[in-house]
Chain A
Amino acid sequence: DARVTQTPRHKVTEMGQEVTMRCQPILGHNTVFWYRQTMMQGLELLAYFRNRAPLDDSGMPKDRFSAEMPDATLATLKIQPSEPRDSAVYFCASGLFIRESPRTQYFGPGTRLLVL
C-alpha cells in the first residue's frame, strides 16, 4: 500500500531556529504539494512541484520559507528563521498528473510544528 511519508511527525523548536521537514512522495508520482493547516486559516497551499520543477510557490513567505526537490524521492520544506506564527501542521501530498487525468492527490500524515 503506497503512501506519502513525512518526517519528523512532530517538531518543537525555539523562535529563530531552522526547521527542515521532509517528504517522500509515492513512487512514480510526478507532482508534489506542500500545504499548511491551522485552525484559523484551514488548509492552504504553500508550493508545488511538477517533475521536480517548482511551478508555484506564491503561498510561501519568500523571506523565510524555501521548498526544494533534490531528487524524485525527496521533497523538503525549510523555514529559516522560524517564528511562533509558523506553528501549524504541514502536509505533503503527491499525485500522478498526466494529460487529461483527474488531479487526485494523496496526503502524508503531516508534520506538527510548534515554534516557541
Chain B
Amino acid sequence: DAKTTQPPSMDCAEGRAANLPCNHSTISGNEYVYWYRQIHSQGPQYIIHGLKNNETNEMASLIITEDRKSSTLILPHATLRDTAVYYCIVKEGTGANNLFFGTGTRLTVIP
C-alpha cells in the first residue's frame, strides 16, 4: 500500500472551509484514496473515498490531482463538531485487508 503524508495539525475557523492535504506520491493505479476521521472517544468514521475523479457527498469533497500523487479533503463549512483527527489512507480496491491509519491530521475548529 502506498504511504501517505499529512500535516500533524491544522486549525480552521468555524464556518470556513477546512482543506486537509495528503501526499501519496507512490500511489498505484488500482489504489483508492480513503478519508476517515476519529472524533475524541469515538470509533473512526468513514468520510469519503475516490479513485481518479473528484468526489462529493453530504459530508465532504475529495479533490484528487490529475497525477493522483496528492489529494485534498474539503469540509465546506467547518463546525466545532468537525474537530477530530483526519486520516488519509491509500488502499487497493481488491483483496481483504485492514486499513493502516497512521497518525493523521488533528483538525481543530476554532469558534
* Partner-B contacts on A (CB < 8 A): 4, 31, 33, 35, 42-43, 45, 48, 50, 55-56, 91, 93, 97, 99-110
Contact A105 B99 (CB under 8 A): yes
Interface centre among B43, B46, B91, B99 (most CB of A within 10 A): B43
| Interface bits B95-106 vs A (CB < 8 Å: 1, else 0) | 111110111000
In whole angstroms, how far apart are the Cα atoms of A90 and B96 in the complex? 20
Q: Secondary structure at chain B's binding surface: helix, strand, loop or mixed?
A: loop
Contact: A107 with B44, CB < 8 Å?
A: yes
Contact at A102–B103, with CB atoms within 8 Å?
no
B43 & A31 in contact (Cβ 8 Å cutoff): no
Chain A residues with CB under 8 Å of B86's CB are none
Cross-chain contact B46 with A105 (CB below 8 angstroms): yes
**Which residues of B come within 8 Å of A, CB atoms?**
32, 34, 42-46, 49, 51, 91, 93-99, 101-103
B34 / chain A contacts, CB cutoff of 8 Å: 102-104
Question: Quick one: given A45-B98, A97-B96, are A103 and B91 in contact (CB under 8 Å)?
Answer: yes
List, in ascending order, chain A residues with CB within 8 A of B95's CB.
103
**Closest A-B pairs by Cβ, 7 of them:** A107-B43, A45-B98, A43-B101, A107-B44, A91-B43, A110-B43, A102-B32
CB nearest neighbor in B for A104: B46
Q: How far is the CA of A110 from the CA of B41 in the complex (A)?
A: 9
Residue pair B93, A101 in contact (C-beta under 8 Å): yes
